[in-house]
Structure 1
């Protein structure tokens, strides 16, 4: 997972949209905007949200949902399964690091396929890792295998990492996963290579 940067000029804010429980038309507008801003990727898993993927507007702090304090800064588009698993654990992992924290990438570091805290006493970062299951063994294993496969494919192609990932993006964006891992392992700005969804 990487730090999330929220747009001050987001269409959500410009249109003064608020999440309304049960109002699918309104909430679909928010979902579509978040999808564009996130370039089609789940904030938590960093996997592409394909047409068949169940996705949710995640209220990072679920205690704000339905209150006047719930807002754009609390909303992320995520895979349904991750939202479902997180929702019942919020109270158990407080205090927690917010995904938009300016020092997020320094406090939660990528380490050869795993995410860990940079400071062992950073309880907020520890809690976020546990809350979002960033240390999930299966997901970490998938991330490591993905990076290994891409490294092998890259050596076969014989092009630069940037050119290689541009080819994958142009061919089928669903071939791209684990954005921070790609950034860290291949030393490229994968985020800015991704197209803005229509």
Structure 2
């Protein structure tokens, strides 16, 4: 194995010092190769050294402005720093360089949701699900987009699929309950809210919604 491979294996096993040593050697051997800089940046990000990680991602981009993994990694760091506008910009750059995987589309959708732009987030989340049908969190966020756009029956269909795949998803049950309430199906609304509380007894939003519907009946 080369130094990059040794470093990645060590990082996956939580051996941070061994990984750092291997990536440092990889950089020393190939200072013009962006890959070890990206690997080192990912290591730094994993231990919350966000500013140093961004410096290494930037170095990789300077060496290769088509290094999609560097843009994607920087986007993840900015997400962790809750700078969602910068995160969005870097994810978009990763997309422009040709990266196309479900994680990227999910993260783009996620950041747009954080920026309160659900309509723009929708196609990215939909694409994330198309590329990875098992991504239930992308499915849930897509349902949230639909609900935000008042496409309530479509949202119900998505949230129903979410809880089918994950019967412990309290927030999906809660949002199902809210959607049914808006669709004036109070019995279904109470049933879904009840399931949210079963899964998470301290789900305050679900408990509050339950109380409001029961009082209105």
TM-score for both structures, normalised by structure 1: 0.28
Structure with greater Cα Rg: 2
Higher helix share: 2
Higher strand share: 1
TM-score for both structures, normalised by structure 2: 0.26
